[in-house]
Amino acid sequence: MSYVSLYRKWRPQTFADVTGQAHVVRTLSNALAEKRIAHAYLFTGPRGTGKTTLARLLAKGLNCVNGPTPEPCNECPSCRRIAEGIAMDVVEIDGASNRGIDEIREVRERVRFAPTEGAFKIYIIDEVHMLTNEAFNALLKVLEEPPKHVVFVFATTEPHKIPATVASRCQRFDFRRLSMAETVARLTQVAQAEGINVTEDALRVIARYAEGSLRDGLGLLDQCRAYAEQVTPDVVTGVLGVAPREQVIAFADVLAAGDAARGLALVKELQEAGRDLRQFLRDAARYLRDVLLYKVAGEQALGTAVLPGTEESEALRRQAVALPVPLILRAIEALGAAEADMRYAAQSQLPLEMAIVRLTRPETQLDPEALLARIERLERQVAVLAGQGVTEGSRGPAIHPFTPGQQPEMDPPARGQRQSVGESRTLEEHRRQAEQRPALEQTPVHEQAPVPEQRPATPPQPPQPRPEPTAAPTGSDAGDELALVLAQWDRLHEVLNQQRQRIVQAFLREGRPVSCRNGVLTIEFPPDRAFHRDNLQSDDNRKVVEKYLSRLVGRRIQVTTVLAGAGGLGEAPATAADPEPSAGPTVPPAEAAGTDGAAAGEGDDDVLNSPAVREALRLFGGRIIHVERNR
């Protein structure tokens, strides 16, 4: 005979045995005690929470010789038959395979006959959401006024698929996911009764992955028993193919230390052990959430996330101090994105590896969050330095605005809260400053603190003030002004790229800055790049360049463009006020139509002057070499 799995063997046989769902158990018991039986019940809730079990218990309670009773005897023939699943009066229908109108009509026919053994006929329809519309409608009438001896119990995981007309004729009970504690309690009970050698830690791991479903939890326990004599947390993670807790904690340590190499080594370990990387992403995100919770709620969070006094709670405490809130949020987001990307990667570990490099190397990123993370890191280093006796004054003003976020040592939760409030305020101020400055101020602003966007892409070297500002010129020394622009030229490309201005960047790439006087920068294009030059000159694109360049250089810069060989550098550059660029050896498109028209041959003026041709030339540039007529 086949082995009966734990979750079937340990299906509760009395109401007292049911784990969780106190609200359902109590209501049903009371109804049985007071003999106020509804004619139809709807049990809904996630898988493995006790719907079918309670449906059968209800049937037992109704048909027991002492019934209706909340305490079925489990000894009378009726109770025994129900437990064995052979009772005549309890009809269990699989709604998914018997979903048509014919099956339901059959039920309707048979409902009329009186029960053979007990007082009631109980119809349990499992997976009732799978019935067809017609089948539901066929049920309606009999549901509304069923014979006195009939009780319907519908069980489903998807209550939204039940027509309102059916649902409103039922007493509805919503089953909840079981809590960690409830799951562990029941697992402990079963393990003891079955003589399974399992540690408490292991049971907690099982409960965590059962996600509130006892069937999943008992199934997992069953598997672990087949796997090893003594069930430890490692056995459970081995069976599930998930990473052991230590590795999840190690991942958080990698983030705290900003150690990309160690992070990549961790991925390699996971991969070689055949761990489920997708699940690892989820586990890591969930763990970081626990850390976040701890930072915000303090010791209160421990009970729900991990048990106090364990190694895990120690790690949680340590990492709550080590990990700043913005980094945690960024990490949770990055892990979620990596999970989505995993579908599209040729090698499944790649998105995780990318996320690790991103999170441990914020300097590879230019989005505001990454910049915040870098500032955050600086702030902490400043705090450390301050703690070592380096005073604010001796470090110069560059550091000054950041200090409000830093508080000396406090107990962790309080510190976490205070810190995050402080951070958001100071950073907000800085962002505002950064946006306003280029627009409002014509004069250099070197004396002030560096703006986030101005930072070079090198790893932060905190205590030193940024070198550029002091080296930058203050007057209109032309050479130095150009040098200032050139120093930021590569960064400009990067910023444009980051800001999704790739088209502008593509045009800009073809030119090079040749001079800069009084805040007017001249960009020169090779003769054969008139197309790029014209496009860059257009108001929209030029303003984009001016905006970002001004920010990078820290002063307002206007941009003009010129074609090489178009009459010397800096002479008659096209400016915003001069929409038609001056002509040169390489002719801008509008004029090209006229001048090259002669080369195309006599008698073609009608073609050359036609609006369509002119427009085409204006848009695309080029020259007309030959006109061929269609006869």
List contacts with another protein (CB under 8 A): 1-3, 5, 8, 47-48, 85, 94-97, 99, 126-127, 130, 157, 213, 215-216, 219, 222-223, 226-228, 238-241, 260-261, 264, 268, 271-276, 341, 343-348, 350-351, 353-354, 357-358, 361, 363-366, 457, 490, 493-494, 497, 502, 505-506, 509
Q: Which is nearer to another protein, 357 or 598 (CB)?
A: 357
Q: Which is nearer to another protein, 275 or 317 (CB)?
A: 275
Residue 473 makes CB contacts below 8 A (sequence gap 6+) with: 480, 481, 484
Please report how close the Cβ of residue 2 comes to another protein at its closest, in angstroms.
Answer: 5
Question: What is the spatial distance between Cα 403 and Cα 1, in angstroms, rounded to a whole number?
Answer: 73
Please report how close the Cβ of residue 340 comes to another protein at its closest, in angstroms.
Answer: 9
87 burial (CB, 10 Å; 0-12 / 13-18 / 19+) is buried
Q: Which is nearer to another protein, 216 or 481 (CB)?
A: 216
Q: How many helices (H) and strands (E) does the chain have?
A: 30, 10
The tokens describing 223, both together, are: 């598997």
Please report how close the Cβ of residue 232 comes to another protein at its closest, in angstroms.
Answer: 14
Please report how close the Cβ of residue 111 comes to another protein at its closest, in angstroms.
Answer: 21
Q: Which is nearer to another protein, 223 or 420 (CB)?
A: 223
Contact (CB, 8 A) for 316 and 307: no
Q: Which is nearer to another protein, 139 or 302 (CB)?
A: 139
Q: Which is nearer to another protein, 268 or 432 (CB)?
A: 268
Please report how close the Cβ of residue 447 comes to another protein at its closest, in angstroms.
Answer: 30
Distances (CA, A) of 246 to 184, 208, 284, 314: 21, 15, 11, 12
Please report how close the Cβ of residue 21 comes to another protein at its closest, in angstroms.
Answer: 17
Q: Is the dihedral of CA 135, 140, 143, 145 positive or negative?
A: negative
The tokens describing 295, both together, are: 């930072």
Q: Which is nearer to another protein, 3 or 602 (CB)?
A: 3
Give 179's DSSP letter. P
Q: Which is nearer to another protein, 95 or 450 (CB)?
A: 95
Please report how close the Cβ of residue 312 comes to another protein at its closest, in angstroms.
Answer: 23
551-586 burial, b at 16+ Cβ within 10 Å, e below that, comes to bbbbbbbbbbbbbbebeeebeebbbeeeeebeebeb
Q: What is the dihedral of CA 325, 326, 327, 333, to 10 degrees?
A: 110
Q: Which is nearer to another protein, 187 or 301 (CB)?
A: 187
Alpha carbon 161 to chain centroid, angstroms = 28
Q: Is 361 helix (H, G, I), strand (E, B) or coil?
A: coil
Please report how close the Cβ of residue 473 comes to another protein at its closest, in angstroms.
Answer: 25
The tokens describing 342, both together, are: 């995993």
Distances (CA, A) of 236 to 243, 272, 303, 315, 418: 10, 18, 22, 21, 39
Q: Which is nearer to another protein, 258 or 567 (CB)?
A: 258
Please report how close the Cβ of residue 375 comes to another protein at its closest, in angstroms.
Answer: 18
SS (HEC) of 557-606: CEEEEEECCCCCCCCCCECCCCCCCCCCCCCCHHHHHHHHHHHHCCCCHH
Q: Angle 277-297/412-440 helices, nearest 10 degrees? A: 100
Q: Is the dihedral of CA 280, 286, 290, 296 positive or negative?
A: positive
Please report how close the Cβ of residue 127 comes to another protein at its closest, in angstroms.
Answer: 6
